[in-house]
Amino acid sequence: MPNAAKTTPAALSSPVSSSVSRSLSRSGGRVTGAYLQPLLDVASARGVALTALARAAGLAEHALSPLPETLAASDYVRLLDVAAQLANDQHFGLHVGESVKLGTYTVYGLILLSCHDFGQVFQQTLRYEGLAHDLGRSDLLVQNQLAQYQWHSHFPNASRHLAESVFAGIRVFGNWLAGAPLPPVPISFTHAAPDDCSEHLRIFGDATVFDAALNSASFDAALLSWPVPNADVGMYPVLQQHAEHLLQEKRRAQLDGGIVAQVRATIIANLTQDRAKLAFIAQDLSLTQRTLQRKLSEAGSSFQQVLDHTRHELAKDYLRQRQLNLADIAFLLGYQEQSAFNHAFKGWFGISPGSYREQL
């Protein structure tokens, strides 16, 4: 594999995504509950009780059950190591990566499933991977006929379980996207080789390198033009708009830090799942409903005001996106029926959404 530091390849990167990642890295960042689930599944399958796992990782006994909406990224990294020890599984990270499912990557994963080819898949990964976790940042370097995917961990002192779980997960998800097993490609890890590399051989093939300068995978750039055979490309505009707002609100909440910004970001993340309700939002923020209402009151607001304002502003933005029809917008705003959205919108603006769009 060429040394990327000595080349001047064209780079596909996302400035917004990178800046968000750096900001979140400084504060520790988060992982979603969906991304945490495979770790818990593998631990449970090996006889590790979730209460025991939580205690061993220094968390509250019931911190992992019910599944939290998000978890501190630093806690996730610690859970990988603790679970590996409790399960007596020296390849725990690889097995976690192999256990990813279609829902593991949340809306980011759905966007990948709506991409028309692997080039678009990588572009969307660079921008939206932070919607699933803040564990690291991706880059894609392309020079001549060679492409190199790089993953830069935000936890450089983490054990090998972290990087190995990421790359095993990418392998599994890539096979789903391709509709068939992808050809083995050279994989490089920055950590030292374990005593037993049999699982690496089974998952990645015989071209795995350790003690490398980067965590990376190198492959023929022609793979970027491979189609995603079962892609639902018609859903891409809807999912992309939703992901953009999630990304913006995540950044805003990180920079602001106030309770209103946090609630707004959490509402947006839950709108399409019909979970934009006080009880769910309080649970996701690890607050009681009463405490959340008190904090919002102290900030001069209320939950209903934040919810209405969030929907109000999103609706105006979505109506500017001509590729979104009114049914799509109603779904993105968390309404079960388009008629409910029409009624709410008329209450805000005095006209229907269709009339508003015509006036733009």
CATH of the domain at 318: 1.10.10.60
Residue 68: both structure tokens together:
């939290």
Q: Could you state, in chain order, the average pLDDT of each consecutive group of 10 residues for the chain (360 residues)? A: 33 36 48 95 97 96 90 94 97 97 87 93 91 92 92 93 97 93 94 96 94 96 93 86 82 74 86 86 87 87 88 86 85 87 85 84
Looking at the fold, whether 221 and 263 belong to one and the same domain comes out as: no
Looking at the fold, whether 181 and 42 belong to one and the same domain comes out as: yes
Structural domain contains residue 239: no
Looking at the fold, whether 203 and 60 belong to one and the same domain comes out as: yes
Looking at the fold, whether 193 and 296 belong to one and the same domain comes out as: no
Residue 57: both structure tokens together:
């990782």
Domain count of the fold of the chain: 2
Structural domain contains residue 252: no
SS3 141: strand
Query: Does residue 326 contact residue 336 with C-beta atoms inside 8 Å?
Result: no
Nearest to 135 by CA among 169, 112, 90, 182: 169
pLDDT reported for residue 256: 63
Structural domain contains residue 288: yes
Residue 322: both structure tokens together:
């001509």
SS3 per residue for 154-222: CCCCCCHHHHHHHHHHHHHHHHHHHCCCCCCCCEECCCCCCCCCHHHHHHHCCCEECCCCCEEEEEEHH
pLDDT reported for residue 316: 85
Structural domain contains residue 245: no
Residue 201: both structure tokens together:
């051989």
Structural domain contains residue 43: yes
- Name the DSSP letter for residue 116: S
Looking at the fold, whether 216 and 263 belong to one and the same domain comes out as: no
Structural domain contains residue 251: no
Residue 108: both structure tokens together:
């980011």
Structural domain contains residue 98: yes
Rg (CA), the chain: 22
Number of helical (H) and strand (E) elements in the chain, helices listed first:
17, 8
* Residue 211, Ramachandran bin (φ over 0: left; ψ between -120 and 50: alpha; else beta): left
- CA end-to-end distance (rounded Å), the chain: 52
Nearest to 152 by CA among 306, 5, 325, 350: 5
Last-in-domain residue among 225, 241, 271: 225
175-to-66, 113, 288 alpha-carbon distances in Å: 30, 12, 42
Range(s) of the domain holding residue 8: 4-225
Query: Does residue 173 contact residue 38 with C-beta atoms inside 8 Å?
Result: no
pLDDT reported for residue 264: 87
Looking at the fold, whether 90 and 207 belong to one and the same domain comes out as: yes
Nearest to 173 by CA among 246, 241, 77, 103: 103
Looking at the fold, whether 309 and 352 belong to one and the same domain comes out as: yes
Looking at the fold, whether 220 and 264 belong to one and the same domain comes out as: no
- Angle (CA) 299-301-306 rounded to 5° is 120
Looking at the fold, whether 136 and 213 belong to one and the same domain comes out as: yes
Looking at the fold, whether 221 and 340 belong to one and the same domain comes out as: no
pLDDT reported for residue 84: 97
CATH of the domain at 126: 3.90.1520
With 0-12 CB in 10 A as exposed, 13-18 as middle and 19+ as buried, what is 18? middle
Looking at the fold, whether 177 and 100 belong to one and the same domain comes out as: yes
Looking at the fold, whether 307 and 160 belong to one and the same domain comes out as: no
Structural domain contains residue 238: no
The CA-based dihedral angle spanning residues 39, 202, 169, 122, taken in that order and rounded to the nearest 10 degrees: 170
Q: What are phi and psi of 283, to 5 degrees?
A: -60, -45
